[in-house]
Structure 1
Amino acid sequence: MTHEEPGLFDLPAAAPATPVIEEPRISPEQIASIRGAFDIAGIADMAERQEVIQGCVIRSISNIRELYSREVRQVLARIEGWGRKSESTSGSAWDNREEDTWIDKL
């Protein structure tokens, strides 16, 4: 190895870091749809609303406006399923399934 050849640790300069793209925040229409879903589900308590939303995102949020637009579908699905968890069920998971299986269709 001569002095003109690159050495083991002679790495090229690092490429410039890509700029951080800020994700779009929730829109007023999406906020209205979430609030409407809460009303339909009968979830009026603010602590319970925050618990539902916090269960969908992995970061801490203190206000609905901190949500990203991509998280709205998850939140709406969680709100829709929130009331179902309190329903008393009897029988097995097979008995309580909501959709027909291929066996049911025979």
Structure 2
Amino acid sequence: MTQDKPGLFDLPEPVIAAPVITDTPISPVQIASIRDAFDIAGITDMSTRQEVIQSCVVRRITNIRELYSRDVRQILSRIDAWGRKTEPASGSAWDNREEDTWIDKL
């Protein structure tokens, strides 16, 4: 047998294309959960809502329906943190820290 001709078991290998991952658009349930979170946090001004959402995504968003499903978790946690923004009445920054340090856990 010559090398120029394919052999009996020299089958052409199928070309495997890498799967294309597309972002899932935001669902109506997720939109409702974002709006509910804004209401619970007391964020009613549309420009403030836009600022919160824009702080979570890199691309420019003009409508909530332009968000992807993957953006929702980060937006909800940012809304929660934004809603808890209150200045402590007294004490130092050390006294008013949010998380315990390893010393506090001893």
- TM-score, reference length from structure 1: 0.72
Q: Which has the larger radius of gyration?
A: 2
Structure 2 alignment gaps of length 5 or more: 1-16
- TM-score, reference length from structure 2: 0.72
Q: Does 1:28 pair with 2:31? A: no
Letter in 1 for 2:49: R
Write the distance in 2 (CA, Å) between the matches of 1:63 and 1:69. Answer: 14
Aligned pairs for 1:1-106 (under 5 A) are 21-85=21-85, 87-89=86-88, 90-106=90-106
Write the distance in 2 (CA, Å) between the matches of 1:80 and 1:51. Answer: 14
Q: Deviations over 1:5-57 (max 9, x none)?
A: xxxxxxxxxxxx96854310101111110000000001111111111100100
Runs of 4+ in structure 1 over 2 Å off = 17-22, 89-94, 98-102
When the two chains are superposed, the root-mean-square deviation of aligned CA atoms in Å is 2.3
Structure 1 alignment gaps of length 5 or more: 1-16
Question: How many pairs are equivalent?
Answer: 91
Task: Give the % identical residues.
Answer: 75
Shift of 1:103: 1.8
